[in-house]
Structure 1
């Protein structure tokens, strides 16, 4: 009888031990799952608005660089929405608004925006530009501006500065490309724009943009310098359209795969360049092109960059820019 009781006690003890082991395994598995979920799989929104206080004559510029994001909804606090990843929005009434962003239906962030009435000292007027929409290199282009004001300033998009003053503007382009001409006056709250395509009829044979040796080095340095200029706060339109027109044949539908400090994210060329303008201190280290077969257009740009406050490492900070067909 004693032996039977002893065997039963031992059997019960073994059962409890097995039960405790199973509970411990389940508890450990749960802790590991929670640990991984909280530290390794949690995403956060990486979105920005350019300014949180604007006037009615300004546009709200917004952009998002959340890793692996596929769906966006921007709500502008007045009932209007947008499903674009990046863009701009124009308010029609002054006031305080809360801009809300929802990424992939689960990640959310909001930005307070104050829209002030247009400055009363600036009298807005309607400006117009008349003139050709096409031209050729080394031949004079004539544009006429019309509207109220005494001082008119023209920027033809090639030099990044004011090129001509006065209602009538004469300008000679030195390089082919698609340029955005800007006209301002002292009586206009906002500039107006005119697009002109400049071609070179004497250039029948177009060589690859990237050639081995010194040519490739110059191209790398040129692209890197333009991107760095954008990051440093230089004229965005001038440097951005310079790259688009010279190396991408005017194609702005470009994919950007950014890897920086071991982190990867995908966006487009416009958003990438916009991110440089308010993405912190960025140092662009190198940029290389790959040309489409039988074409002079870039299909891929590989960029290396790092935070200007940290030293770059060889294994990080690369970005791939690939054209969408």
Structure 2
């Protein structure tokens, strides 16, 4: 090898060593394929709400050290420089969140931001019975209470005629076939919430129609607010006055209100009693009948107000107990 060749080889080797050192010293510009982000809401209710501070957090902040991080919030806003950010949306909508690192899109997620009203919160606060709507004699059926703020639970399964359990989740077996009204009373509602369960004999076939019992035929609606409120008041009073065994009066009046004024959507209509506790409409009617119509006293419906004449979502009832 000539002297010139030795010099050229030495130069090339030196450059290679320098390049290797530089590569080792400089941070990598390769984006981690496992990079992701998650969103944390302030009240931790798994619902992203208008005017609620939200946190957008990268799952591995060390993977974006010395890299250019860009958040696109889906509404025209962008935030540069921080792997973890806080952001508040002021309008409800569906937004595409984009995380870019060094100019490359590494993750996109679509979120729904909702606007909650007082009534929406009230509906969400009403406990719900989670459990089967049909079963068989002798089968172990699991029922649980879903909701927030509950500290006490009173379960009635409609077979024994008394309170059957006191836990949030219970297991119950029916001894006889039939339709039973499962009722749950908690500290958060004035009246119990309820659910119908159909119990079949083990030799019975599953009935073709497991829907709710037929309601009374709707009548012509009354077209002024005062008359609507008075008509609902009169129907609720009839439910309160009905005897303990008079289910037909309850079904007829409850069905009339539901079909005529609530557009068949009674299961989503709130009843607020005396400005305090909430119940959904069907549970309020059942509670009004079962709990308040007894031999010693009855309920007087003093006033009824509705929130929207054309689309009722809330009924405010003023009532009191009076002796017979």
TM-score by length of 2: 0.36
TM-score by length of 1: 0.36
Structure whose alpha-carbon radius of gyration is higher: 2
